[in-house]
Amino acid sequence: MKPELDLLSLSKKIGYQWEEIGVYLGLHQHTIKSIDSNFRYQCVQEKAFDMLVKWCEYVPKDMDASVLLTRALRACGMHDVARDVELPAEIFHGPSEL
C-alpha cells in the first residue's frame, strides 16, 4: 500500500479532531491556522490529510513516528484509531522545524 493511502485512511478517521491532534503532534499554531485557511472550502478530511503530511515532513528519522502519533491520538481520546496506527517509515522526511 502506498504511504499516501495510509495517511488518507487515517485522515478519514481523524476528521474534526485534526487541529487538536496537530497540537499534540507539536505543530505550531501558525501551521494549523495556515492549513485551516488554505483548505477553508475543502472538507475536514483534506485538512486532516494536509496536517499529517506536514507533520510527516518534520518527524526526525531517529524517532518512532507511530509512537508519537499513537500518543497524540490517545491524548485526544481516539483509542480505537491509535490501536490501528502503523505508518511506513518512508513517509517521514527527517528533522526540520515545525
What are the tens digits of pLDDT across the range 53-69? 999 888 887 888 888 99
State the pLDDT confidence band at 2, using cuts at 50, 70 and 90.
very low
Give the integer Cα–Cα distance in Å for 44 and 49.
9
- Locus of grid cell 475536514: 44
Provide the pLDDT for residue 38. 92
Q: What is the pLDDT of residues 24-80, one digit of tens each?
A: 999 999 999 999 999 988 899 999 999 999 998 888 878 888 889 999 999 999 999
Provide the pLDDT for residue 88. 56
Taking residue 66's Cβ as centre, other Cβ atoms within 10 Å add up to: 15
Provide the pLDDT for residue 67. 87
Which set of grid coordinates corresponds to residue 68?
Answer: 508519537
Instruction: Judge whether 72 and 80 are in contact, CB under 8 Å.
Output: no
How many Å separate Cα 45 from the centre of its chain?
A: 11
Segment holding 35, helix H or strand E:
helix 29-38
Full-model pTM? 0.81
Residue-range domains of the chain with CATH = 3-91 (1.10.533.10)
User: Distances from the Cα of 89 to the Cαs of 8, 56, 64, 65, in angstroms?
Assistant: 16, 10, 9, 8
